[in-house]
Structures are given as C-alpha cells and as structure tokens.
Amino acid sequence: MTSRTLNTHKIVQTAMHLIEQQTPLTFSNISRELGTHSQALYNYFPDVTALSASIDEAYNAKLVTRLQQQLLGLAGEKAVLKFASVCRQYALERFKITQFVLAIPRELLNDGSSSSQDLKNILKQILSSMGLNDGLLLNAMRLIRNLIIGEIVNVGRGWFTTETVEETVSFQQMLLVALHHLDEL
C-alpha cells in the first residue's frame, strides 16, 4: 500500500481486524496485512500504545453512534434498558476487541477522549432525567456500568450458558431490580 492510500483509519481498522483474528498487535503484522513496510506506520502512530488508544476511541465512537440511533425518543427506565442492551450486544458482537479495549490501562488512553466522554454523558443524561440527586446519580451510573461489563465478561466467556434462564432475560431482570432499588444506594 502506498503512502497516498495509507491513513490512520485504515491502520486502526486493520489493527481491529487482527485483534479479532487473535493475531498479535505489532506494526510488523499490521504492515504485512496492509502490504507496506512497518516503518510507514510510524508516520501515523509513534508506537502500539498510541495505536491502542486510537482503537479505544474508534470502538467507543461506533458504540456512541449506535446508541444515539437506538435511544432516539426514549427516556427514563426504557432508555436505561435500551442503553444497557445496546452496549451488551455491541460488545458481544466484537468480543475480542471488547476484551482488548477493556484491558488497555487507563493511563495509556487519551485524556478526555471525546467518544469515551460522550458514552458517559449519554448514560448520565438518561439517568438525570429520572430525577436522581448527584450522589445517587454517580452510584447509579457505576451500578449500570458494572452490570453491563459483568454481563459482557460472563456471557463472552461462556459462564452464563444455561437453558434455565436466557441470558438476555436475566440481564433485563437484573437491570430492572437495580433500577427499582436505586434509592437504596
């Protein structure tokens, strides 16, 4: 691939593809996939750490876009349930990348990443519409995120495979229990 056709988007997409294929994320592997030399990638990213931060940003940006489309016209409890189910589905559809993104140490991420902040703001806006005070709002945001992340890890790892209760049903039930008991936080 010539330098005229190489760009950060292509590099990030190729890196995400390699992660999905469980190929080690190295500039050598990325450049091989792109048909270029690994040195060409240094014009776009100083190292794999910087690339990882861009992967996190791209992952979250796509999730934010999906949430904005799916949450249109919803508020309150219905919006929280939709937010959680969209996040769950999105993460499980690309579980290998989700694992990669969740494993990036916080200090390696871009400070104030816009899509990460947008993601937090969407949940905060939804929960704010439920009339929660600041302390309760913070706890509710943490609770919902914990339920989502826990669900993703458990389902993605195959720990919730049982025919007794369908995974999506139990997730919705747990969310409803949490929402109905927010005043106890």
Quick: pLDDT tens for 58-70.
Answer: 999 999 999 999 9
pTM score: 0.90
CB burial string 128-164: b at 16+ within 10 A, e below: eebebeeebbebbbebbeebbeebbbebbeeeeeeee
Closest CA to 119 of 167, 66, 164: 66
Directed axis angle between helix 95-103 and helix 8-20, to 10°?
110
Instruction: Return the pLDDT at 112.
Output: 64
DSSP assigned state of 109: S
In degrees and rounded to multiples of 5, residue 94 shows phi and psi of: -135, 55
Local structure of residue 4 (DSSP, 8 states) = T
Return the pLDDT at 48: 95
The pLDDT confidence band at residue 162, using thresholds 50, 70 and 90, is confident
pLDDT at 111: 67
Rounded percentage of the chain residues whose pLDDT exceeds 90: 77
Q: For position 167, what pLDDT does the model report? A: 83
DSSP H stretches of helix in 26-75: 27-34, 38-41, 48-70
The whole-number average pLDDT for the span 85-108 is 94
Least confident of 13-17, 45-49, 113-117, 153-157: 113-117
| For range 94-100, the mean pLDDT | 97
Q: Residue range 77-84: average pLDDT?
A: 96
Q: Per mean pLDDT, which range of 119-123, 131-135, 164-168 is the poorest?
A: 164-168
pLDDT of 37 > 80? The answer is: yes
Name the percent of the chain lying above pLDDT 70.
96
**Average pLDDT score over residue span 46-72:** 96
Tokens of 17: 């593809």
> Are 90 and 58 within 8 A, CB to CB?
no
pLDDT, position 183: 83
Nearest to 13 by CA among 62, 68, 67: 62
